[in-house]
Amino acid sequence: MKNKEEQKEIAKKRIEKLFEEAEKTKSQKLANRYVELARKIAMKLNLRMPKKFKRKFCKHCYNYFKSKNYRVRTRDGKLIYYCFECKKYTRIPLS
């Protein structure tokens, strides 16, 4: 059995690889599955999702963001992501 640090490093690499695959694929369904798998890996090892990946999927329906299924706007010092699948917003403060 590997120690916790080694397991977490392997998990981070797997999460990164899954998001690379989600970026490459043409299929939205497959991209959503990659996000689901990445989240499961992170939850299993109690890892935070790396910051660079947090904004690449909807926090409500876990839909991977591709160019046609979401909208990004800025308003009142916030970055607003609108998901066309679940019709919900995510507001992120700009610092």
For every residue of 28-73, DSSP letters joined together read: HHHHHHHHHHHHHHHHHTTPPPPHHHHTTB-TTT--B--TTSEEEE
How sure is the predictor about 8, in pLDDT bands with cuts at 50, 70 and 90? very high
Mean pLDDT of the chain: 94
pLDDT given at position 1: 62
Q: What is the pTM of this model?
A: 0.89
Cβ atoms 69, 28 nearer than 8 A: yes
Q: How far apart are CA 11 and CA 41, in angstroms?
A: 6
Residue 67's pLDDT band (cuts 50, 70, 90): confident
pLDDT (mean) for 44-54? 92
Q: Residue 95: its pLDDT value, please?
A: 82
